[in-house]
Amino acid sequence: MVNFRYIPNLLITRPLAYIFRHFLKRPITIPDGDRRNKDTIYFPEELAKKGETILDRDFSFSNVFKHTPHISPNYRGLLALNLMNCTGCKACFRACPNKCIEMVLLDPQPPHWTKKRPLESPQMFIGRCMYCGLCVDACKFDALFHSAGFDGASSRKEDLFYNYLDLYDVFKLYFPKEHETQQKEYVETHGKSLEEFLTHETKDTDD
């Protein structure tokens, strides 16, 4: 496998290298004999019965996910961020061809971070994201990855800005087992969960 670390990050050289690697993977969709694709997202029956659409905000996307019978494991949906794994290396920021990712300081700094430099994590404007997966490929710490979430549409531009806590919420929703396991270890080590530490301290500062 090519080590992309040594490919110069000039113009679009590195993003093109990541795109080329996708051609070596299995295709996302594999049609079956009856010309239907079982790896395609089906429109949830629960919504069809009510005559609603996914854009109806009264029907949360967690319920949409629950009523969706099958989603391909290769599906590139809403990006999820595991804050407990993120090291702020900026690899995702550098790999993004649309420049929809920016790095921001975690405020306050989490207790698990002991390095001298402050910890930064990505926030994202998903309205500009084309879900190419280059940021996921660039992440070497299993911190950023695609989820099965597909209800990212909104009529308000402000809703398309996902800060690190929003991306972390996507991780908690679509990867509950992984989150629960890591959360228990985190609480045992630091006394409370990472989200409790961040939201509690932020709320106290605002007050």
pLDDT in tens, 51-109: 554 444 454 445 555 555 556 667 888 999 999 999 999 999 999 999 999 999 998 89
End-to-end CA distance of the chain, in Å? 51
Q: Is the pLDDT of residue 135 over 70?
A: yes
Q: Quote the CA–CA distance of 135 and 169 in Å, as a whole number.
A: 18
The angle subtended at Cα 91 by Cα 123 and Cα 162, nearest 5°, is: 10
How sure is the predictor about 49, in pLDDT bands with cuts at 50, 70 and 90? low
Edge-to-edge strand ranges of the sheet holding 161-162: 101-105, 120-125, 161-162
Question: Which pTM was predicted?
Answer: 0.67
Q: Boundaries of CATH 3.30.70.3270 in the chain?
A: 73-207
Q: Quote the CA–CA distance of 110 and 14 in Å, as a whole number.
A: 32
Q: Note the helical H segments in 26-141.
A: 45-50, 61-66, 91-95, 134-138
Q: Quote the CA–CA distance of 201 and 207 in Å, as a whole number.
A: 10
Q: Tokens in use for 141?
A: 């710490």
Q: Quote the CA–CA distance of 199 and 172 in Å, as a whole number.
A: 15
| Three-state SS at 161 | strand
Q: Give residue 43's identity as a one-letter amino acid code.
A: F
Section 1-12 average pLDDT: 52
Q: HSE (CB half, 13 Å, CA atoms) of 45?
A: 3
- Name the architecture of domain 73-207: 2-Layer Sandwich (3.30)
Q: Using a CB cutoff of 8 Å and minimum separation of 24, what contacts does 56-61 make?
A: 61/149, 61/150, 61/151
pLDDT score of 84: 92
Which of 153, 154, 93, 80 lies closest to 120 in space, CA to CA? 93
